[in-house]
Amino acid sequence: MNPFRGIGLKLASVTCFVVMAALIKAASDEVPAGEAVFFRSFFALPIIFIWLVQRGEFLAGLRVQSPMGHVWRGMIGASAMFLNFFALGLLPLPEATVIGYAAPLLLVVFAAMFAGEDVRLFRFSAVFAGLVGVVIVMMPRITVLHGVPDPKEQLGAMVALGGACLAAIVQLHVRNMVKTETTTSIVFWFSMSCTVAALVTIPFSPWVMPSALACTLLILSGLVGGVAQVFLTSCYRYADASLLAPFDYASMLLALIIGYVFFDEIPTPAMIVGAVIVISAGVAIILRERALGLNAARRKKSDAL
């Protein structure tokens, strides 16, 4: 274990994912979300191929125990990606990022509902507070409390929340997949399935021939997304997930900077207040789970003695 290296890789992955989102957003005026999903997935494959070969896990990346598990993961994951990319074209980057933070909160809810996990008062209260924060961020976009909302931003807020819901379902599904599937196979077949799934959108949202600039942005989004996935997968080799999880929220600072510098997006008071609440709730849950995990490990060690 090398915690500092794990943290460095985690921060690198977070940075790459935010840059990828910014590249998608920059091209969103020109290409539909389904086409963006194709570029993001297809051009991530060379990076993943190189990574698997370098680690000597190419065959392991192809081997699966539950083909339908990968199909479902790909279908739901591609749908979540589609909604997230669609939202990026309608909302400021920081707001889309904050609403996306609803995914780990909703994961707790779905795990209790569908997997029978025990959710105690502390975690339930933190999840409730976090979801209130998400609502605060969305309020100016979906209600008339701050004036008549822009229909596009109204749609964007709802679409972003839908993407967060699907992302939470994907995470719950992956929890079960890792019992039989390798991490490398999950990473590889996800990109493959998303590439294929993106083609299904052509009849419903006809693709366009992007300009040279938009094409470059989309290709870069795939390459950067592939690098981000490699960094994300690799970081867990050096540090525990509970230690690395809080660093996901570094994406908020990066989204604020990129949104302001490249898209002239100024965060609203509601967005800032909501983001603080959501991030605080998320970190509280992570720290609580880490403490419970450490206590359980100590009890297990004591029993062994």
Region 108-116 average pLDDT: 87
- Per-residue pLDDT reduced to its tens digit, 11-41: 999 999 999 999 999 999 999 999 999 999 9
> What pLDDT does residue 301 have?
47
Q: 225 pLDDT exceeds 60?
A: yes
Q: Which two tokens stand for residue 141?
A: 């976009």
Tell whether the model's pLDDT for residue 1 goes beyond 80: no
Contact predicate 160/278, CB 8 Å? no
Per-residue burial over 275-295, b if 16 or more Cβ lie within 10 Å, else e, is bebbbebbbbbbeeebeeeee
Q: Chain-centre distance of CA 223, in angstroms? A: 17
User: Distances from the Cα of 53 to the Cαs of 57, 63, 170, 196, 224, in angstroms?
Assistant: 6, 14, 27, 23, 19
**pLDDT band of 302, cuts 50, 70, 90:** very low
Cβ(268)–Cβ(145) below 8 Å: no
pLDDT digits (tens, 9 = 90+) for 45-65: 999 999 999 888 888 778 888
Give the C-alpha separation, 293 to 203, whole Å: 48
Exposure string for 81-100, b = 16+ CB within 10 A, e = fewer: bbbbbbbbbbbbbbbbbbbb
First to last CA, the chain: 24
> pLDDT by residue (tens digit) across 243-275?
888 899 999 999 999 999 999 999 989 999 999
Residue 121 host element (H or E): helix 121-142
Distance CA(232)–CA(48), nearest Å, equals 12
DSSP 3-state assignment of 116? coil
- pLDDT single digits (tens) 176-224: 888 888 888 898 999 999 999 999 999 988 899 999 999 999 999 999 9
pTM for the complete prediction?
A: 0.92
When mean pLDDT is compared over 56-60, 107-111, 117-121, 296-300, the highest value belongs to 107-111
Give the C-alpha distances (Å, rounded to integers) separating 230 from 10, 59, 91, 189. Answer: 10, 17, 28, 14
- Which among 71, 96, 134 is positioned nearest to 17, based on CA atoms? 96
Q: What mean pLDDT value characterizes the chain?
A: 90
Q: How confident is the model at residue 96 (pLDDT cuts 50, 70, 90)?
A: very high
**What pLDDT, on the 0 to 100 scale, is given for residue 183?**
85
